Amino acid sequence: MQQIGKLCLAIEDKKIEGIEFEHDGSPFSIKLIPSGYLCIENIRFRLTKIEESVFFTLYNSRSLNPLPSNPLIYDIDGIEGYVFDEEGEFTRIFKTSLERRI
């Protein structure tokens, strides 16, 4: 959940563009989905210009192994990748995925 918080702060501080989130302020509601991933049920992310949903998974993510120290994974149009690199910076591929839709 730390990575979700970091992403939300970056969006609010305008350190990354092309994505926004919606949350009611209540505690995060963690849910295990059928694929085995854990997700936060009561926060929604979408691409700013085209209102397309962005799905994030964490903890049990099985997509890429081995998991890095910042294991937040995104899915945009069926393309998965890590949001943060080992240094905690946004990955190039994540930023590129957002920029293609601005």
pTM, to two decimals:
0.76
Residues near 7 by beta carbon (within 8 Å), at least 6 away in sequence? 16, 21, 45, 56, 72, 83
Residues spanned by the domain of 62: 2-99
Convert the pLDDT of each residue in 50-88 to its tens digit.
666 677 766 544 544 455 566 788 888 777 888 888 888
What is the percent of the chain with per-residue pLDDT over 70, rounded to a whole number?
A: 78
Burial of 9 (C-beta count, 10 Å sphere; 0-12/13-18/19+):
exposed
**How many structural domains is the chain composed of?**
1
> Cα–Cα distance between 15 and 36 in angstroms, integer?
31
Alpha-carbon distance of 17 to 15, in angstroms, equals 7
